[in-house]
Amino acid sequence: MGKAILTYCVTHGIVSEEDIPTLDYCIYKTITSKITVIMLAVIGTLFSDVFTTVAFLYAFCSLRKTINGFHAKTISGCLFGSVTLEFLLLTLARQEYSLIVKLILIFLSSCIIWSLAPFNHPNMNLSKDEIDACRHASRKQLLFLLTLVAASYVASKQRILNGLCAGIVLAAGLLSLAYLINYIRRKNNA
């Protein structure tokens, strides 16, 4: 479907030849994101509960669109990886961890996002201004999510707290993975 949209845009002069890689990546990312969110919502609700799943998806998706991070090469790889990670994190989120463990995870994840976001994916070629805008937006969203984490704790809404924590941790994990893979690729090419 993505290739059909791309072909239509090129043949009708909607995009120039130089914008093809960017459009191709954006179409792929949009389709993959929508399919993944639908599957994650269904599977998350089956393995957890609605409140935890919604909080998880909100935290993860709202961060992911500004911080970027690791992307699988295929849609099937993305779906498999996303579902596997969601299952793992929501299963862990159902466990009762001490407040100290949650605070450590949130602190480490927040430090990763604050210092590394955004990841400039090779197919994106973001300008310095775009990187700065994404960095500002990701930090603003992170602060909002941390406010929700605090409010969930104060209101004793453990399921929401657990979902928010799992979403923030997954977003930070995929951001770290993207930087790690990029570092290994550069090192191997040097």
Tens digit of pLDDT for each residue in 42-98?
A: 887 887 889 998 999 999 989 988 887 766 666 676 667 777 777 777 777 666 777
SS (H, E, C) the chain: CHHHHHHHHHHCCCCCHHHHHHHHHHHHHHHHHHHHHHHHHHHHHHHCCHHHHHHHHHHHHHHHHHHCCCCCCCHHHHHHHHHHHHHHHHHHHCCCCCHHHHHHHHHHHHHHHHHHCCCCCCCCCCCHHHHHHHHHHHHHHHHHHHHHHHHHHHCCCHHHHHHHHHHHHHHHHHHHHHHHHHHHHHHHHC
Helix axes 128-154, 50-67, angle to 10 degrees: 160
pTM assigned to the model: 0.80
Nearest to 170 by CA among 73, 44, 49, 50: 44
Which pLDDT tens digits describe the chain residue by residue (190 residues)? 667 777 787 788 887 777 778 788 778 778 877 887 888 888 878 878 899 989 999 999 899 888 877 666 666 766 677 777 777 777 776 667 778 888 899 999 999 999 999 988 776 678 899 999 999 999 999 999 999 999 999 999 999 998 999 899 989 998 998 888 888 888 888 7
Q: What is the largest CA-CA distance in the chain?
A: 58
Let me know the angle formed at the C-alpha of 127 by 126 and 128, rounded to the nearest 5 degrees.
120
pLDDT at residue 75, rounded to an integer = 62
